[in-house]
Structure 1
Amino acid sequence: MVAMNLKAKTMSLMEQREALETEMNDIIARLCQPGGPGISGNLVDQEGFPRSDIDIPAVRADRHRLAELRNNHEDITEKINENLQVLHSAKVARNSSSLVKGEGEGSIQASYNSNSVPSASSPDVLPEDSASTMDVDVFLSVPFAIVDEITDGSPAAEDGLQLGDRIMKFGNVGSGDGLLQRLASEAQSNQGRPVSLVVMRQGSQIILTVTPRSWQGRGLLGCHFQIL
């Protein structure tokens, strides 16, 4: 039961995060519509006066709300990752335990360290029966970035990337540190060559192929990734 409770909590957190992302996507779409100021564009004209073509109070409210949502998203993602680590560790422990139980049935010999397995009193321990029914791997791929800006006619747009897509993998880049630098390096090193891109879009996992290339705009893709 503890295992299923932890899994249910993780799924609930993922649903909460998806709701946050939906609201974030709506705000980003409003800010980045044609003629809009974008996520961080100037709210004043070239002469330093407030822009008359946008609703500045509304833009400021949207940007403030977006910052709040991103903070909440970061907190929830951290909790999800903690749960994933527990679920994954429990799965590894379950596999190790299965090897030990098989010693008497054949010639398989397993070296087993009981200290590596959580004690039964730990609230995060997964009972063997429930652990065997869980597919922990479905949780292990977590989006690490979101497309918050994309230019019409850019390589990214032409190759099928959409505003709000959550990036799960870009070429050889997955989660980790220094993501922006690694993403830029991956695009640079694959200029003119197709790169596999895995995204989460409206709850579905989609595999795309994008080709970083020179075009009339900036960069090789013409989009911006916001790290989650």
Structure 2
Amino acid sequence: MVGTNLKAETMSLMEKRTAVEAEMNAIIHRLSQPGGPGLSGNLIDAEGFPRSDIDILHVRAERRRLAELRNDHQEISEKINENIQLLHSARLSNVSSCVKDSGNDADSNQNSSLVNADASAFPSNNIQRDSPVSMDVDLIISKPFALIDEITDASPAAEDGLQLGDQIVKFGKVEAGENLLERLASEGRSNLGQAVPVVIMRQGAVINLTVTPRTWQGRGLLGCHFRIL
């Protein structure tokens, strides 16, 4: 019963996170329009006066709301990860108990079936699920190390399929560890113009993509910002 309730709570959190990401994307899109103020652009003109081409109060409200949503997104993601770890701990404990209890009574074929059935419940990172929100959340086994908290329209990251809120499990050769920002930057520079395999977690689903770091009209080689988790 506890596991069922925890799973239901996690599914609800995933749906809530999806709604938060949609609102964040909408705000970012509005602020990043051509000639717009951007996510952190200056609101005064070259002479030091408030810009007359934008609604400054509205822009400030949008930026403030975006900051609130980012905090909400982080809290929800942390709770989801906490629930997933609890679900996995419960699953592994149950499997271990089943194997131990059935060891003396079941024949080798039955034991083999039990092990194979459990192994099939833990997919590799190469599996992409089509309905992430409806997935069985205790199948997630990878731990992300970074979150995309900013992404620019028409940037290499956006064009190659990355989205705001994606959690990075693996970027090229970079996995969880130390000096992650430096390693991510180095991986991007060393693969300029080359496709880099990326494993992400999106709404609880593990997805494989390829991203090509390249020069474009904006900043950096990807046009997104990684926040280390």
Q: TM-score under structure 1 normalisation? A: 0.72
SS in structure 2 at match of 1:58: helix
Corresponding residue for residue 210 of structure 1: 211
> Structure 1: 5+ residue runs without aligned partners?
108-133
Q: 1:79 to 1:167 in 2, by over 3 A?
A: closer
- Counterpart for residue 121 of structure 1: none
Contact 1:150 1:162 in 2 (8 A): no
Q: Percent identity?
A: 57
Contact preservation (8 Å) 1:155, 1:222: yes
Quote the residue 1:220 is aligned against.
221
Displacement of 1:220: 1.9
Task: Give the deviation of 1:178 after TM superposition.
Answer: 5.5
Task: Say if 1:165 and 1:200, in contact at 8 Å, map to a contact too.
Answer: no
Alpha-carbon contact 2:140-2:206 (below 8 Å) kept: no
Residues 1-228 of structure 1: pairs in structure 2 closer than 5 A: 1-104=1-104, 105=106, 136-138=138-140, 144-146=146-148, 148-150=150-152, 152=154, 154-157=155-158, 159-161=159-161, 164=164, 166-169=166-169, 170-173=171-174, 179-198=180-199, 207-215=208-216, 217-225=218-226
Decide whether aligned partners of structure 1 residues 56 and 216 sit closer, same or farther in structure 2, where only a CA change above 3 A counts: closer
- Mean alpha-carbon deviation: is it higher for 75-84 or for 194-203? 194-203
Residues 25 and 164 in structure 2, CA contact (< 8 A), matched pair in contact too = yes
Displacement, 1:155? Answer: 3.6
CA contact (8 A) 1:196 1:210 kept: yes
Using the TM superposition, give the Cα deviation of residue 168 of structure 1 relative to its aligned residue in structure 2, in angstroms.
3.6
- Contact in 2 for aligned 1:20/1:73 (Cα 8 Å): yes
TM-score scaled by length of structure 2:
0.72
| SS at 2:20 equivalent | helix
Q: Deviations over 1:140-197 (max 9, x none)?
A: 5669423633254x5435x533663624443244567765444323212322321013
Q: How many residues align?
A: 200
**Aligned-pair RMSD on alpha carbons?**
3.2
Amino acid at match of 1:150: T
